């Protein structure tokens, strides 16, 4: 029996994707259809990674195809997110890095913004999304208070154009709310707002999107990492025991069976203090070795230790992150962290799917513009 693509398409029109109330063909969910003799392979593309309906639709498609073409035909159906299939707003985003912390006050946003800059300095195309819905800080850290992203009509829908600065594409919920106004949103409202920043924005081609998550482990985190194809997570901590305990909780969230996001490493912030007049001295104000201890426990790499330096706070408040100044110790540390992150992502992608490797030399020079 000769099987044609037209016959397969007609058969799949019987398979419904209930969340959108139509069949998988009309919804353009069928992709990569290939036929070799009696062997048929295809992929079903879903709006988000880890779609809870994926296995139901896949089973229905297999039953329908076998009923129409008999047991002599062999069918292979893969499941892809729109991002993996190269579709949608995130279709050209190669890697998404979630920067998380178990608790607030550890400098997660400072680390995320400076890491994004260090990644861009390697020659990579980088976006930074401030998903810290209740405490957005990127407008201040990049000197963009009062700025508003642009908008563009695409196929009858209004799309957000990220703001570009220091070689990054930037979006934050802080661009859309009044300064000094508290956000009193329930979890579903916050998740929907963040979904718009992902799906209703024109991100274009990016090697890396750095995602600054809210502190802690809540429903917003779960919604984000389950609906967005996160490549890996970086956890920020400080050396003291109370912070390390929360790091373990954050790591446990990423290891959850419904999430399974690999850890790219741990960054220890506020690691030590070195006085300007005594550059050879290190004072471990919050303890010593905590970051390495928790990284070893988690089977992850300690990507770097960031010192307590007044200039980090000053440059963040002035809208000029310290990673832009290669003459500083902090910038050199962030540059090294960026190289390690690229190396770990390339290694992970090579293990999963070699075609997704980001061809960027982690040893490239980090000259500023």
The residue among 102 and 211 whose pLDDT is bigger is 211
What's the whole-number average pLDDT of the chain? 84
Break the chain into its structural domains and give their ranges: 5-81, 96-356
Provide the Cα torsion 342, 347, 352, 353; round to 10°: 70
Please state, as a whole number, how many other Cβ atoms lie within 10 Å of the Cβ of residue 169.
23
Please state, in angstroms and rounded to a whole number, the distance separating the CA atoms of residues 213 and 362.
25
**Which contiguous run of DSSP H or E holds residue 221?**
helix 219-227
* pLDDT value of position 333: 94
Q: What is the per-residue pLDDT across 268-318, written as a single tens digit (0 to 9) for each? A: 998 888 777 776 778 888 778 788 888 888 889 999 999 888 788 788 788
* pLDDT value of position 359: 46
Q: What is the per-residue pLDDT across 57-85, written as a single tens digit (0 to 9) for each? A: 999 999 999 999 988 899 999 988 877 78
CB burial readout 307-332, b (16+ within 10 A) else e? bbbeebeebbeeeebbbbeeebebbb
Report whether 134 contacts 109 (CB < 8 A).
no
* pLDDT value of position 349: 80
Enter the CATH code of domain 5-81.
3.30.300.130
- Asked if pLDDT for residue 357 goes beyond 60, the answer is no
Q: Band of the pLDDT at 116, cuts 50, 70, 90?
A: very high
- Asked if pLDDT for residue 226 goes beyond 90, the answer is no
- Asked if pLDDT for residue 41 goes beyond 60, the answer is yes
Is residue 315 classed as helix, strand or coil in its secondary structure?
helix
CB burial readout 237-258, b (16+ within 10 A) else e? bbbeeebbebbeebbebbeeee
- Asked if pLDDT for residue 43 goes beyond 70, the answer is yes
Enter the CATH code of domain 96-356.
3.40.50.300
* pTM: predicted TM-score of the whole model, two decimal places: 0.79
- Tell me which residue has tokens 């967005």: 228
- Tell me which residue has tokens 């563009």: 152
């Amino acid at each position: 029996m000769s099987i044609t693509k037209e016959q397969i398409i007609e058969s799949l029109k019987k398979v419904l994707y209930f969340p959108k109330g139509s069949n998988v063909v009309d919804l353009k969910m069928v992709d990569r259809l290939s036929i070799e003799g009696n062997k048929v392979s295809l992929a079903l593309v879903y709006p988000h990674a880890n779609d809870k309906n994926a296995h139901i639709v896949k089973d229905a498609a297999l039953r329908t195809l076998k009923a129409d073409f008999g047991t002599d035909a062999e069918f292979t159906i893969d499941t892809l997110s729109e991002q993996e299939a190269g579709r949608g707003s995130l279709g050209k985003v190669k890697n998404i890095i979630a920067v998380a912390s178990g608790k607030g006050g550890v400098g997660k946003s400072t680390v995320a913004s400076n890491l994004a800059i260090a990644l861009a300095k390697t020659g990579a195309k980088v976006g930074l999304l401030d998903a810290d819905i209740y405490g957005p800080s990127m407008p201040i850290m990049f000197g963009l208070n009062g700025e508003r992203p642009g908008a563009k009509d695409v196929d009858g829908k209004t799309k957000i154009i990220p703001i570009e600065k220091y070689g990054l594409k930037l979006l934050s919920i802080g661009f859309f709310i009044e300064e000094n106004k508290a956000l009193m949103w329930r979890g579903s409202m916050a998740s929907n707002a963040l979904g718009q920043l992902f799906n209703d924005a024109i991100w274009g081609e990016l090697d890396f999107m750095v995602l600054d998550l809210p502190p802690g482990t809540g429903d917003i985190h779960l919604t984000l990492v389950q609906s967005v194809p996160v490549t890996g997570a970086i956890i920020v901590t400080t050396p003291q025991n109370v912070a390390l305990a929360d790091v373990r909780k954050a790591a446990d969230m990423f290891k959850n069976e419904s999430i399974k996001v690999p850890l790219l490493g741990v960054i220890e912030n506020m690691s030590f203090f070195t006085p300007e007049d005594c550059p050879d001295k290190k004072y471990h104000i919050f303890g010593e070795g905590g970051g390495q201890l928790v990284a070893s426990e988690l089977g992850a790499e300690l990507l770097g230790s960031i010192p307590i330096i007044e200039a980090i706070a000053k440059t963040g408040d002035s809208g000029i992150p310290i990673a832009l100044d290669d003459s500083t110790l902090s910038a050199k540390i962030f540059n090294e962290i960026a190289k390690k992150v690229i190396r770990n992502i390339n290694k992970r992608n090579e293990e999963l799917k070699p075609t997704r490797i980001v061809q960027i030399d982690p040893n490239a020079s980090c000259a500023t513009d």
